[in-house]
Amino acid sequence: MKKLISKILFQTNLIILISLILISCSKPPTNEIQITIWHQMRVDEREILQRQLDRFMKLHPRIKVNQIYKETEELRSGFIIAAIGGQGPEIIYGPQDQVGPFEIMNIILPLDTIFSQEFLNQFNEKGLIWSNNHLWMIADKLGNHLALVYNKKLIKNPPKTDKELIEIGKQLTKDFNNDGKPDQYGLVWNYTEPFFFIPFLTGFGGWVFDEKNNPTLNTEAMIKGLKFIADLRDKHKIIPGEADYDIADVLFKEGKAGMIINGDWSWASYGKAGIDYGIAPLPLIEETGLYAAPMISGKGYSINANIDPEKLPAVKLLLEFLLSPENQLETAKELNTFPTHKSVYDDPFIKENEILINSQRQIELGKPMPIISEMRAVWDAMRPYYQAVLGGAMNPEIAAQKMQDEAVKKIQEMTEDVTSIYAELIFIIAFVVGIILVLILSRRTILSFVKEFSKNSFAYYLVLPAFVVMILVIIYPFIYNIVLSFSNMNLRHINDWSIIGLNQYIKVFSEPVFYTVFLKTIIWTFVNVFFHVTIGVCLALLLNRKIPGKIVFRTLLILPWAIPQYIVALTWRGMFNYEYGAINLILTKYLSLPPVEWLKSPLEAFIAVIITNVWLGFPFMMVIALGALQSIPNELYEAADIEGAKWFHKLWKITIPLIKPVMIPAITLGIIWTFNNLNVVWLVSNAGEPSDQTHILVSYVYKAAFNLYRYGYAAAFSMVIFFILLVMSLSFLKRTRATESVY
């Protein structure tokens, strides 16, 4: 052991260096043209793309195309980050609404300067995304639209009107085993998400923006649409009491729902799950005589503004190839997507395929999704109040009013344009003065540090490597963030941002939500850490005894730590489902308690998130406590036994004080990590549901600032989080005196 460790210590750095050099040496040859595409395609789309790229590379051996998948949100934020750095892929593929922010930020090229009018005339107009007199994206697929999917085994003729929908729904909603809960529903869909609500807004004659792009959410149509959905659930009882995307999907796949409202991306998976399904346009709303119209959106290619001009011809060649009728037809045939190249429309396959025919009808009835970046603010404004109506916490009239106010406020925040002439100068002066002051005040320490260095060099040499690595990585991002927090960097000032002073900080503190979310974060942090540590230490104490099979227990108990968080967090979300989740089934069947609406009411949802996070976090504390227990000499316990001490005396007087030095750092850092734990909250509560009531500070800043491209504000908010944590951990450490030595 000793030899091993010393060897490792001496050789590690050498090994690291050599191996890293070896890896970085393998660079590609330079006579090739490398093109990278970032996209957000599904797996089946990706496979077709790769096939088409392979054909292209065979035709043009000098061009190498590399396709990289990113999830929609990440595609957007990742591309923005890379583009700010002057990098990024040559081509980016995604839904048309990403054009909005990219265009304002000037990070994509206008395509009308690259492609000829003749070439562009070949495409369906809906597939050419123009804005401010320039073309920014050419789509190869149209749609991304919702439609009514029905199970042919249960439904012969799909409903044409809302009355028929309710009637058929009532016939199909059945309680087979008479337990008072339906076992089959007429209709399901992800009705918690505003995108899935749009058809009912349009069906009653509403829309999200007027001609001048001002939000129009406080309308009669909105109120009627909201009432309609609430009625489907509470009055007609043809939809489940709680349905998010996954639950709706599963009910339909298991044949337990007659109809589902879902987008073209999902249809093929129903066939794969063995459901004989048909597609029908969403019904006509009889009251208005309008069809429930979904949003439709093209998906297509844009070109990075940072592209190397020498690569442009190759990129053009590639896009012409990918957008060609042959390739579009191939994709359409395999995925039932609707192409944009007009010459394909006469193909017998497009004309005769039942699904495509109905899909096309729905597309014609649909309304194009606005590409302006304000759309995102509208979604964020609608979601909480929409969910509040469905949760029974708000009536539709008030909700519509609040949605409108919130949308106006968010759009104003998002597009605000603050500049200041003097702020930059003041900032620089303050910065320089600050540094000089620090130097003057700490001159004694610095002098004695230099003196001490030679005296205590052994200690410094031991500490130095770790700190060099830390400083390398942290200092630059840290200072960058401080500067940003005084700036106006946002959607409109992405590359030309300037210092505007304390503006962003004032905004953080003047937001009333900040204080409630802050309080929730404190509760969240302490409840979590308390249970992590208590459960962890208790288990470690138990496992430190002579228990049969303790190795097995120990190993199984670290599983929550070992398994990737994403899937278990979502599994937990499933377990909290009102009707089908394991937790409610245990509560009702074995404990005869009433079921709990875990994900629908704010308090329960918050508890659900905490339970999940406690489960994820206790194994880590257990491992540390196990290690800490080994530092306690047995003699102490033996001596205590001789004096006849009871177990809790031993625990209180020996165990706890002696594991303290090891536990304190873990607890302090546990507090910090829990405070900033974005993932679990995000996944289990589905980004703050219900109604943005389950946020902690980091998830709030992510949603309210980062997502709306308010980078300056987000940076200021992070600085505030940073100072809160600094104060908290300093006072905690002071109490426990962890920076000092024990002996």
Partner 1 sequence: MRESKLVNWIIFVFLLFFTLATIYPVINVFTVSLRPGDKLLSTSLEIIPEGATFQSYIKLFTETDFLRWLFNSTFISFVVTLTGVSLASTAGYALSRFKFIGKKSAMLGLMVTQMFPATMLLLPMYIMLMKLGLLNSYIGIVIVYSSTALPFCVWQMKGYYDTIPFSLEEAARIDGCTRWQAFYKIILPLASPALVITALFSFMSAWSEYIVAAQILQDRNLYTLPIGLKSFQSNLTTEWGLYAAASLIVSIPVVILFIILSRYLVSGLTLGSVKE
Assigned token pair, 249: 């999907």
Alpha helix ranges (H) inside 97-158: 99-105, 117-120
CB closer to partner 1, 106 vs 555: 555
Residue closer to partner 1 by CB (options 398, 551) is 551
Which CB sits closer to partner 1, 12 or 343?
12
The residues facing 296 across adjacent strands are 368
Nearer to partner 1 (CB atom), residue 22 or residue 421: 22
**Which residue number, 168 or 663, has a Cβ lying nearer to partner 1?**
663
**Minimum distance, C-beta of residue 652 to partner 1, in the bound complex (Å):** 18
CB 208 within 8 A of CB 217: yes
Give 425 or 468: the residue with its C-beta nearer to partner 1.
468
Instruction: Give residues with Cβ within 8 angstroms of 676, minimum separation 6.
Output: 698, 721, 725
How far is residue 127's CA from residue 123's CA, in Å, rounded to a whole number? 7
When the beta carbons of 20 and 357 are compared against partner 1, the nearer one is: 20
Of 132 and 454, which has the nearer Cβ to partner 1?
A: 454
Nearer to partner 1, 355 or 570 (CB): 570
Tell me 347's DSSP state: S
485: nearest Cα among 499, 464, 467, 469: 499
Tokens of 331: 């994709």
Per-position DSSP letters for 689-740, written without gaps between them: TTTT-S--HHHHHIIIIITTT-HHHHHHHHHHHHHHHHHHHHHHHHHHTTTS
Q: How near is the Cβ of 705 to partner 1 at its closest, in Å?
A: 10
C-alpha–C-alpha distance, residues 741 and 743, integer Å: 6
β strands within 264-317, DSSP E: 277-280, 284-285, 290-291, 295-303
Nearest distance in Å: CB 218, partner 1: 29
Return the bridge partners of 187, or none.
259
For residue 707 the two structure tokens come to 């997502």
* Shortest distance (Å) from residue 460 CB to partner 1: 7
Taking the least distance from each CB to partner 1, the nearer of 677 and 691 is 677
Other beta carbons less than 10 A from residue 292's beta carbon? 28
Looking only at the bridges linking them, the beta strands covering 33-39 and 63-69 are parallel
Least distance in angstroms from the C-beta of 626 to partner 1: 6
- In the bound state with partner 1, the residue whose beta carbon lies nearer, of 458 and 648, is 458
In whole angstroms, what is the distance from residue 570 CA to residue 674 CA? Answer: 19
Q: Which is nearer to partner 1, 285 or 610 (CB)?
A: 610
* Paired strand residues for 92: 38, 302
Transcribe 454-518 into DSSP letters: HHTHHHHHHHHHHHHHHHHHHHHHHHHHHHHHTB--BTTBSSS--B--THHHHHHHH-HHHHHHH
Nearest distance in Å: CB 546, partner 1: 6
Smallest distance from partner 1 to CB 216, Å: 27
Smallest gap from residue 664 Cβ to partner 1 (A): 6
Residue 409 tokens read as 């406020």
Distance CA 645, CA 629 (A): 19
Q: Residue 392 carries which DSSP code?
A: T
CA distance 582 to 575: 5
Nearer to partner 1, 392 or 465 (CB): 465
Contacts of 141 (CB under 8 A, 6+ apart): 298, 299, 300, 331, 337, 338, 339, 340
Which of helix, strand or coil describes residue 349? helix
Output 407 or 540, the one with its CB closest to partner 1: 540
What whole-number distance in Å separates Cα of residue 531 and Cα of residue 560? 15
Q: How many CB atoms lie within 10 A of CB 625?
A: 25
Shortest distance (Å) from residue 223 CB to partner 1: 28
Residue 416 CB, nearest distance to partner 1 (Å)? 20
Amino acid identity of residue 560, one-letter, is P
Helix (H) or strand (E) holding 187: strand 185-189
Measured from the CB of residue 19, what is the shortest distance to partner 1 in angstroms?
A: 7
Least distance to partner 1, CB of residue 565, Å? 7
- Minimum Å gap between C-beta 616 and partner 1 is 10
| Cα-based angle 595, 597, 598 (whole degrees, multiple of 5) | 110
DSSP assignment letter at 72? H
Q: Is the CB of 125 or the CB of 254 nearer to partner 1?
A: 254
* Nearest distance, CB of residue 220 and partner 1, angstroms: 31
Which of 390/540 has CB closer to partner 1? 540
Four-CA torsion 540, 544, 549, 555, nearest 10 degrees: 40
Rounded Cα distance between 195 and 205, Å, is 16
Least CB distance to partner 1 at residue 246 (A)? 5
Q: What's the closest the beta carbon of residue 12 comes to partner 1, in angstroms? A: 4
